[in-house]
Amino acid sequence: MEEYTFETERLYMRPAQVKDADFVLELLNTPKWLSYIGDRKVRTEEDAIQYIKSKMLPQFEEKKFGNYIVVRKEDHKRIGCCGLYDREGIQGIDIGFAFLPSYEGNGYGYESAAKVMQYGKDVHNILSVSGITVKENIGSQRLLEKLGLKCIKTITLGNDPTPLLFYSNSKEHA
Protein backbone atom coordinates (compact mmCIF):
# COMPACT_ATOMS: atom_id res chain seq x y z
CA MET A 1 0.00 0.00 0.00
CA GLU A 2 1.29 3.42 -0.95
CA GLU A 3 2.05 5.98 1.74
CA TYR A 4 -0.15 9.09 1.65
CA THR A 5 0.34 12.42 3.34
CA PHE A 6 -3.35 13.27 3.66
CA GLU A 7 -6.61 11.44 3.68
CA THR A 8 -10.10 12.87 3.35
CA GLU A 9 -13.42 11.09 3.18
CA ARG A 10 -12.99 10.22 -0.50
CA LEU A 11 -9.37 11.05 -1.32
CA TYR A 12 -5.74 10.29 -0.64
CA MET A 13 -3.06 12.89 -1.31
CA ARG A 14 0.72 12.58 -1.56
CA PRO A 15 3.59 14.67 -2.91
CA ALA A 16 4.16 14.48 -6.64
CA GLN A 17 6.92 12.04 -7.58
CA VAL A 18 8.85 11.18 -10.73
CA LYS A 19 6.67 8.06 -11.07
CA ASP A 20 3.74 10.42 -11.75
CA ALA A 21 5.22 11.54 -15.08
CA ASP A 22 2.50 9.85 -17.15
CA PHE A 23 -0.22 11.50 -15.09
CA VAL A 24 1.48 14.93 -15.11
CA LEU A 25 1.85 14.67 -18.89
CA GLU A 26 -1.88 13.99 -19.24
CA LEU A 27 -3.00 16.69 -16.79
CA LEU A 28 -0.77 19.46 -18.17
CA ASN A 29 -2.14 18.85 -21.65
CA THR A 30 -5.87 18.95 -20.84
CA PRO A 31 -7.75 21.74 -22.63
CA LYS A 32 -8.53 23.61 -19.39
CA TRP A 33 -4.92 23.45 -18.17
CA LEU A 34 -3.70 24.81 -21.49
CA SER A 35 -6.38 27.54 -21.60
CA TYR A 36 -6.51 28.59 -17.95
CA ILE A 37 -3.06 27.80 -16.54
CA GLY A 38 -0.86 27.84 -19.60
CA ASP A 39 1.20 25.67 -21.89
CA ARG A 40 4.18 24.31 -19.96
CA LYS A 41 5.61 22.69 -23.12
CA VAL A 42 5.40 19.22 -21.56
CA ARG A 43 4.95 16.91 -24.55
CA THR A 44 6.59 13.63 -23.50
CA GLU A 45 7.02 11.61 -20.32
CA GLU A 46 10.65 12.76 -20.27
CA ASP A 47 9.43 16.39 -20.35
CA ALA A 48 7.08 15.54 -17.48
CA ILE A 49 9.93 13.99 -15.47
CA GLN A 50 11.99 17.15 -15.95
CA TYR A 51 8.97 19.31 -14.99
CA ILE A 52 8.47 17.32 -11.79
CA LYS A 53 12.19 17.50 -10.94
CA SER A 54 12.56 21.21 -11.68
CA LYS A 55 9.16 22.65 -10.68
CA MET A 56 7.61 20.34 -8.08
CA LEU A 57 10.30 18.56 -6.07
CA PRO A 58 12.50 21.57 -5.17
CA GLN A 59 9.72 23.32 -3.26
CA PHE A 60 9.07 20.18 -1.19
CA GLU A 61 12.76 20.03 -0.35
CA GLU A 62 12.90 23.69 0.62
CA LYS A 63 9.46 24.39 2.15
CA LYS A 64 8.17 20.90 3.07
CA PHE A 65 4.94 21.54 1.13
CA GLY A 66 4.03 21.83 -2.53
CA ASN A 67 2.11 19.93 -5.20
CA TYR A 68 0.12 16.91 -4.05
CA ILE A 69 -1.27 14.25 -6.35
CA VAL A 70 -4.94 13.61 -5.56
CA VAL A 71 -5.94 9.93 -5.66
CA ARG A 72 -9.51 8.72 -5.46
CA LYS A 73 -9.95 6.14 -2.70
CA GLU A 74 -12.59 4.03 -4.42
CA ASP A 75 -10.35 3.01 -7.34
CA HIS A 76 -6.89 4.47 -6.53
CA LYS A 77 -6.96 6.56 -9.72
CA ARG A 78 -4.92 9.75 -9.86
CA ILE A 79 -7.52 12.39 -10.61
CA GLY A 80 -5.81 15.74 -10.09
CA CYS A 81 -3.38 17.81 -8.11
CA CYS A 82 -3.70 20.36 -5.37
CA GLY A 83 -1.13 22.22 -3.38
CA LEU A 84 0.38 25.22 -1.72
CA TYR A 85 2.94 27.10 -3.76
CA ASP A 86 5.51 29.77 -3.03
CA ARG A 87 5.26 31.44 -6.45
CA GLU A 88 7.45 34.22 -7.66
CA GLY A 89 5.42 37.40 -8.08
CA ILE A 90 2.66 36.39 -5.65
CA GLN A 91 2.42 37.75 -2.14
CA GLY A 92 2.25 34.93 0.37
CA ILE A 93 1.42 31.31 -0.31
CA ASP A 94 -0.78 30.46 -3.28
CA ILE A 95 -3.23 27.57 -3.45
CA GLY A 96 -3.63 25.81 -6.75
CA PHE A 97 -5.61 22.87 -8.08
CA ALA A 98 -6.36 21.08 -11.33
CA PHE A 99 -8.28 17.92 -12.14
CA LEU A 100 -8.73 15.70 -15.13
CA PRO A 101 -11.95 16.70 -16.93
CA SER A 102 -13.82 13.50 -16.09
CA TYR A 103 -13.40 14.17 -12.36
CA GLU A 104 -14.46 17.83 -12.29
CA GLY A 105 -17.71 18.89 -10.67
CA ASN A 106 -17.66 16.22 -7.95
CA GLY A 107 -16.37 18.34 -5.06
CA TYR A 108 -12.87 16.84 -5.18
CA GLY A 109 -11.31 20.28 -5.65
CA TYR A 110 -12.89 21.67 -2.50
CA GLU A 111 -12.23 18.50 -0.50
CA SER A 112 -8.53 18.45 -1.39
CA ALA A 113 -7.97 22.22 -1.20
CA ALA A 114 -9.63 22.54 2.21
CA LYS A 115 -7.41 19.73 3.51
CA VAL A 116 -4.24 21.32 2.11
CA MET A 117 -5.18 24.72 3.57
CA GLN A 118 -5.81 23.14 6.99
CA TYR A 119 -2.44 21.39 6.81
CA GLY A 120 -0.72 24.65 5.88
CA LYS A 121 -2.30 26.37 8.84
CA ASP A 122 -1.75 23.58 11.38
CA VAL A 123 1.78 22.51 10.41
CA HIS A 124 3.36 25.53 8.71
CA ASN A 125 1.38 28.36 10.34
CA ILE A 126 0.24 29.59 6.92
CA LEU A 127 -2.67 31.84 7.79
CA SER A 128 -2.70 33.97 4.65
CA VAL A 129 -3.47 32.10 1.45
CA SER A 130 -3.92 33.57 -2.01
CA GLY A 131 -5.10 32.20 -5.32
CA ILE A 132 -4.93 33.33 -8.92
CA THR A 133 -7.05 32.54 -11.93
CA VAL A 134 -8.00 33.97 -15.28
CA LYS A 135 -11.37 35.71 -15.45
CA GLU A 136 -12.72 33.03 -17.80
CA ASN A 137 -12.19 30.27 -15.22
CA ILE A 138 -15.46 30.59 -13.33
CA GLY A 139 -15.06 27.16 -11.68
CA SER A 140 -11.78 28.17 -10.02
CA GLN A 141 -13.25 31.49 -8.94
CA ARG A 142 -16.16 29.71 -7.25
CA LEU A 143 -13.82 27.25 -5.54
CA LEU A 144 -11.53 30.01 -4.25
CA GLU A 145 -14.58 31.83 -2.86
CA LYS A 146 -15.90 28.63 -1.26
CA LEU A 147 -12.48 28.30 0.43
CA GLY A 148 -12.98 31.75 1.97
CA LEU A 149 -10.85 33.82 -0.41
CA LYS A 150 -12.06 37.07 -1.90
CA CYS A 151 -11.12 38.69 -5.19
CA ILE A 152 -8.91 41.66 -4.31
CA LYS A 153 -7.42 42.94 -7.57
CA THR A 154 -6.15 42.07 -11.02
CA ILE A 155 -2.43 41.34 -11.44
CA THR A 156 0.04 40.10 -14.05
CA LEU A 157 3.03 37.84 -13.42
CA GLY A 158 6.49 38.36 -14.87
CA ASN A 159 6.56 38.88 -18.61
CA ASP A 160 3.10 37.36 -19.12
CA PRO A 161 0.58 40.11 -19.94
CA THR A 162 -2.41 37.87 -19.14
CA PRO A 163 -4.52 39.56 -16.44
CA LEU A 164 -5.10 37.32 -13.42
CA LEU A 165 -7.67 37.72 -10.69
CA PHE A 166 -5.88 37.76 -7.34
CA TYR A 167 -7.80 36.21 -4.43
CA SER A 168 -6.79 36.26 -0.78
CA ASN A 169 -8.10 35.41 2.67
CA SER A 170 -5.76 37.96 4.27
CA LYS A 171 -7.01 41.17 5.81
CA GLU A 172 -3.72 42.75 4.67
CA HIS A 173 -4.86 42.56 1.05
CA ALA A 174 -8.33 43.94 1.68
pLDDT at 173 over 90: no
Please report the pLDDT score of residue 147 as a whole number: 97
Give alpha helix (H) positions in the chain.
21-28, 31-32, 45-51, 57-63, 108-124, 138-146
**Interatomic CA distance for residues 48 and 133, integer angstroms:** 23
CA quadruple 14, 9, 141, 139: dihedral positive or negative? positive
* CA–CA gap between residue 102 and residue 8 (Å, rounded): 20
Domain ranges across the chain: 6-173
Percentage of residues in the chain with pLDDT exceeding 70?
97
Task: Enter the DSSP assignment of 102.
Answer: G
Mean residue pLDDT across the chain: 94
- Checking if the pLDDT of 1 tops 60, the result is no
CATH architecture assignment, domain 6-173: 3-Layer(aba) Sandwich (3.40)
